[in-house]
A and B are shown apart, each in its own frame.
Chain A
Amino acid sequence: MKKVNKITFLGLFTAMALILSFLETLIPNIVPIPGFKIGLANFAVLMALYLYGFKEALIVDLVRILLSAILFGSFFSFFYALSGAALALTIELIIKKTDKFSPVGVSVFGAIFHNLGQFLLAGFIIRSLGIFYYLPFTLIFCILTGFFNGYLVTILKDRLKNIKK
Chain B
Amino acid sequence: MKKSDLILIAIAVIILIPIALLLVNTKSGDKALVKSDGQTIDVLDLSVDGTYRYENKYGFNIVEVRDKNVRVIEADCPGHDCINKGFIKRNNESVICLPHHFEVIISSDKEEYDVVVQ
Given A34-B99, A76-B98, A105-B8, do A126 and B38 touch, yes or no (CB 8 Å)?
yes
A residues near B13, Cβ cutoff 8 Å: 143
A75 at interface, CB cutoff 8 A: yes
Tell me the complex Cα distance, A34–B78, Å. Answer: 9
Interface residues of A in 121-165 (CB under 8 A from B): 122, 125-128, 130-131, 133, 136-137, 139-140, 143, 147, 150-151, 154
Stretch at the interface among A12-20, A25-33, A41-49, A57-65: A25-33
Is B79 in contact with A34, judged by CB distance below 8 angstroms?
yes
Is A130 in contact with B96, judged by CB distance below 8 angstroms?
yes
A100 at interface, CB cutoff 8 A: yes
A108 at interface, CB cutoff 8 A: yes
Within the complex, which residue of A74, A76, A104, A126 is in contact with B96, where a contact is CB–CB below 8 Å? A126
Main secondary structure of the interface of A (DSSP, over half): helix
Is A75 in contact with B35, judged by CB distance below 8 angstroms?
no
Interface size on A, residues (CB 8 A): 35
Given A126-B103, A137-B20, A143-B12, do A33 and B35 touch, yes or no (CB 8 Å)?
no
The 9 closest A-B pairs by CB, nearest first: A127-B38, A32-B81, A105-B5, A130-B94, A130-B105, A104-B5, A34-B79, A136-B19, A136-B20
**Residues of B participating in the A interface, judged by any CB pair closer than 8 Å:** 1-2, 4-5, 8-9, 12-13, 16-17, 19-20, 23, 35, 37-38, 78-79, 81-82, 84-85, 92-99, 101-103, 105
